[in-house]
Structure formats: structure tokens, C-alpha cells
Structure 1
């Protein structure tokens, strides 16, 4: 953490401008001086004109846990796509959906958002509402039977949050969420 918050903010701004420039050049599909200069100007316009509230991120990336998070996400994506296609193609079957409330362990905006996005990207579930002050997600589950029941669907969301926290949270944030970094925590990732 920098002793000078303005310097840290500008360092982040330049990284954002560089990223927006790369995206601009990729969208045009041609690396020219004009595209690069226009990308930088557009990046400056966006970062200076559309001020965003700062997001507090006190964690760090844990490469092993990040690999587990991404691998499990891909697995869930493929499995859920198959399950949703079976539900959709089943003749005369009416799925029994439900909206469940899941109380997350962390109240951090960034972890709540990442958990909500990852849950929504998996077919068969979508976030209906998120309460950032209470740390609650309301999730619509397409078919409770296919999901293994309401408690299993709720546990799937909590497991996803645990993988996000283990991949990106600081040790203090993990302890506050009740997820230690020891052997017990690694065994919990596999579930």
C-alpha cells in the first residue's frame, strides 16, 4: 500500500488507460498510430470523465486457489449446460424452480460481485437480487430437483464464494470469513 494515495490512484488510472487502449486497438483490429493515440485519448476521457468510486481490495492473488476456482468454474459450466439441456429437451417435464436466499460469509463488495457473476454465468441459476449491506444473494434456480435440492443449491453458492475468497482474499479476510488457509481449507476446496 502506498503512503501517497494519489500516486496509487494515478498508477491505477494509467493501468486502466493502457488497458482501454489495448481494448480499443483490438476492437479496430489494426495496430496503427491513429488507433493507439485515439485509444489513449478515449482512455483518458473515460477515466477522467466517468469517475468511479474506489473499490477496496485488500487481498492478493493465490495462484493455486485461482487455478482451482477457474477449473471448477469450467467444470460447473459444462455440467450445468448438460443438465439444463436435459431439462429443456425432456418431454412433458415442468422444472420446479425456486428463489433461495444465501447469506454470504464476506460483506466485501468485490467478493459479493465476483461470486454473483460466477453463479449467474453457470446455466440454470441467476442472481435475482443482491443486498450489499447484508451480504445476501437471492438466486433463482431453474430446477431444484436437478440441482440436488434447495440446501444443495445454497451450498453450491457458498462453495463458489469460498473458492473466490481462497483465490483472492487476504489471510485476515479468510479468517474473518471462517476459512483458514491450512490443510482443512485446501480440503474444503475439493468439495
Structure 2
């Protein structure tokens, strides 16, 4: 009986970050933070985590605020610059796109870092993740910024820099070694 309670408590603690994120998303969707919103958010979050069970994401338990700030600032700058570049290209009648699919072999094996890197890469206009090979840690990107074959390594480097910053901010010791090695 005690071991069942401990297992349930351990499982709930592992799901806690997901529940907190879902409650936050619920509050954002309703546009207000009230006791009723938070209470219904908790009910919906627990229902979602019980009905649509996913294995818990292995968090490293490590957070580096400096590297998170570096990632956030460079991401915001990339987002700003790329938005104008893509808008200019879309409005330019002489623009001749040369998109390509680029495979990027990630250096870490963390599902969390792979997911966050693919999200950050897809959010920046001009690049979109079209496929993910989790087994081999490969992202396949559709990139608009490849005018020549020489631009492909730039796309790879840019994606690997996202991975590096995310791993330094949130990754465990193995992830940090992989991106620095």
C-alpha cells in the first residue's frame, strides 16, 4: 500500500512541470488569471495527462540563466531579422527562390533538446523542420536561404548553434559535453 502511494506520488511529481505548463496555457487561452480559471485549468491538465498519457520528458534539473538569456536574445534577434528578410523576398518580384532540404545531425540525443531546437528553428521565418529522425537525432529542414551549395553549411551551423545554446541552458552534463566537444 505504501509503495503504491509512493509510486503515484513519484508519477505526479514527474508530471508536475507538464501540469503547470498546461495550467499556464489554459490561463493564456482564457485571457485571465482567476481562481476559477486556475482550478479548471488544474482539472483539465490532470484529465489530459491521465487520458492522453505520454511518457515523462527527462528533465536535467539544470537551468543556466546566462545561457538561457543568450538563447532568448539571439532567438529574438533572428526572429526580427528573418521576418523582414522573408517579407522583403515575398514582396520582391525579382526574387527567385532556391529552397532546399538540409539534414542536420544533432550532437545530443536528448528528446527535450531535439524538440526545443526544432521548435526554435521552425519559428524563425525562412526555415521549417519537415521531418525528425529521433533514433539518429537528425532534423530535416526546408530552408529558403540557400542560394548556392555554400549556404547549406551555414544553415547547419545556425541550427547547431541553437542546439548548443539550448543544451547549455537546459541540458545535462552529457549534453553540454556533446555540444562543446
The reply to whether TM is greater than 0.5 is yes
Query: In structure 1, the residue corresponding to 2:147 is in which secondary structure?
Result: helix
Which ranges in structure 2 are unaligned for 5 or more consecutive residues? 1-5
Give the deviation of 1:12 after TM superposition.
Answer: 3.9
TM-score, normalization: structure 2?
Answer: 0.83
- 2:132–2:138: 8 Å Cα contact kept in structure 1? yes
The alignment of Structure 1 onto Structure 2 pairs a total of residues equal to 176
TM-score, normalization: structure 1?
Answer: 0.79
Give the deviation of 1:159 after TM superposition.
Answer: 0.9
Following the alignment from structure 1 to structure 2, what is the Cα–Cα distance between the partners of residues 125 and 141?
A: 5
> Given the alignment of the two structures, is residue 169 of structure 1 paired with residue 156 of structure 2, yes or no?
no
Which ranges in structure 1 are unaligned for 5 or more consecutive residues? 181-191
The equivalent of 1:73 in structure 2 is 75
Give the deviation of 1:145 after TM superposition.
Answer: 2.9
Give the deviation of 1:129 after TM superposition.
Answer: 0.6
Deviation readout 1:2-57 (Å, 9 max, x if unpaired)? xx664332224455445544544554455665544433332332222221112112
Q: In 2 relative to 1, CA 77–24 (structure 1 residues): closer, same or farther, beyond 3 Å?
A: closer
- 2:164–2:179: 8 Å Cα contact kept in structure 1? no
Following the alignment from structure 1 to structure 2, what is the Cα–Cα distance between the partners of residues 25 and 103?
A: 37
Give the deviation of 1:76 after TM superposition.
Answer: 0.4
The equivalent of 2:57 in structure 1 is 55
Following the alignment from structure 1 to structure 2, what is the Cα–Cα distance between the partners of residues 160 and 19?
A: 22
> Given the alignment of the two structures, is residue 179 of structure 1 paired with residue 180 of structure 2, yes or no?
yes
Counterpart among 131, 134, 159 of residue 132 in structure 1: 134
Following the alignment from structure 2 to structure 1, what is the Cα–Cα distance between the partners of residues 103 and 97?
A: 19
